[in-house]
Structure 1
């Protein structure tokens, strides 16, 4: 007796559905099932799961007599599941900026970006901790904010009172490796928003496992 053809796993089928909708545009469950060689029931189950996750949505198409068709398509939220080249784009953009205005213009761009990030970080910190709170508390809250931005950050206060901010991931690693200016901008940013002396002790882009910053109260404060 001939063996039956194995059905694709749920994760494989979900991926195939997303790719086909991306390539072909809106499709009905029947159309997807036919094209993918899967059962209509299996396709519907995965479409419903994808819809609940906000990755696909359906519209109803009515034409003449008969039951309306449900046509499914990917949503903008599904975009992050497809290949992207943000690192390459960012690097090429920096090269273009340098070719237009030289390294001075690159520095100006990072300075402007630092000002934007600084304003946002100060606003976030103000909502989380008092401006006159102990430095360790402000560093802890900054670590929470950076952790939410993908840096796997934590604040560490040693028994002798030494305060460190440690980032176990560099969310802009490829850019940081090519353009040291962005790392210097981050260092200056931390000094500004914390109002403290900040010294970088370890550096992911230089081969370390983390970016570690020692944070100290400024002399005279």
Structure 2
């Protein structure tokens, strides 16, 4: 996240808080304290400063019978500053015109061709499935997706908390329809989408099945015993 703190001049700890809130969607002082290995008082001080700068907001949530918790999220301005999307008004205008002149089916084919070109650029990942997933996650992390991956009993979970084309995808959902197929080609393995930012989830998440996996299209994978892989986030 080099230079992302400008012009706010964020310390490494505050940058880490921003990144965690982006990945999680929301978080409490307790959760951040445990993840960062610092005291709750220190976390609260950092969050207070981030709130004063308009980068973080909070609300009280009641969970079960316990005391209500203050839950923190990034503001829209923080989302735009720290995790910029690769889109502009011209791109949206052009796509609108294409859809108007040639129809939705033509637009779908356009996005499919884009994904096919991207798949060729990526090439078929080499090595074991675990190595292929890691290689793809490394590439996507460098492209701004904040990619991270985890291994489960049945396969792998690839999470993409940041979408560089989020605004385009919200306007033209055809941009996402060919993404799963592209991942299947690149990884050479079955892939299903578990979460989708376009419909309100905090990230896009994909399940990559291991050979002989018990997972089916209509059943969520067993996430018990999930083991997070170290070093999956490229700095």
TM range (shorter): 0.5 to 0.7
**Which residue of 2 is the match for residue 154 of structure 1?**
148
**Which residue of 2 is the match for residue 186 of structure 1?**
179
Give, in whole Å, the separation in 1 of the partners of 2:86 and 2:155.
40
Q: In the TM superposition, what are the counterparts of 1:128-167 in structure 2 within 5 Å? A: 131=126, 133-158=127-152, 160-167=153-160
- Indicate the structure (1 or 2) with the bigger Cα radius of gyration: 1
Decide whether aligned partners of structure 1 residues 92 and 195 sit closer, same or farther in structure 2, where only a CA change above 3 A counts: same
How far off its partner does 1:197 sit? Answer: 1.0
Decide whether the 8 Å contact of 2:154 with 2:210 is kept in 1.
Answer: no
Tell me: higher relative CO, structure 1 or 2? Use CA pairs within 8 A at least 6 residues apart: 2
Give, in whole Å, the separation in 2 of the partners of 1:87 and 1:191.
29
Decide whether the 8 Å contact of 1:150 with 1:169 is kept in 2.
Answer: yes
Decide whether aligned partners of structure 1 residues 121 and 205 sit closer, same or farther in structure 2, where only a CA change above 3 A counts: same
Structure with the larger helix share: 1
Work out whether 1:197 is the aligned partner of 2:190: yes
Decide whether aligned partners of structure 1 residues 86 and 169 sit closer, same or farther in structure 2, where only a CA change above 3 A counts: closer
Give, in whole Å, the separation in 2 of the partners of 1:144 and 1:176.
22
Unmatched tracts of structure 2, length 5 or more: 1-6, 8-84, 214-235
Give, in whole Å, the separation in 1 of the partners of 2:149 and 2:113.
27
How far off its partner does 1:87 sit? Answer: 2.9
TM-score, structure 2 as length reference: 0.51
Decide whether aligned partners of structure 1 residues 135 and 85 sit closer, same or farther in structure 2, where only a CA change above 3 A counts: closer
Give, in whole Å, the separation in 2 of the partners of 1:212 and 1:176.
15
Tell me how large the CA RMSD over aligned residues is. 2.3
How far off its partner does 1:86 sit? Answer: 3.3
Give, in whole Å, the separation in 2 of the partners of 1:108 and 1:96.
15
**Which residue of 2 is the match for residue 174 of structure 1?**
167
Aligned pairs, number:
130
How far off its partner does 1:162 sit? Answer: 2.5
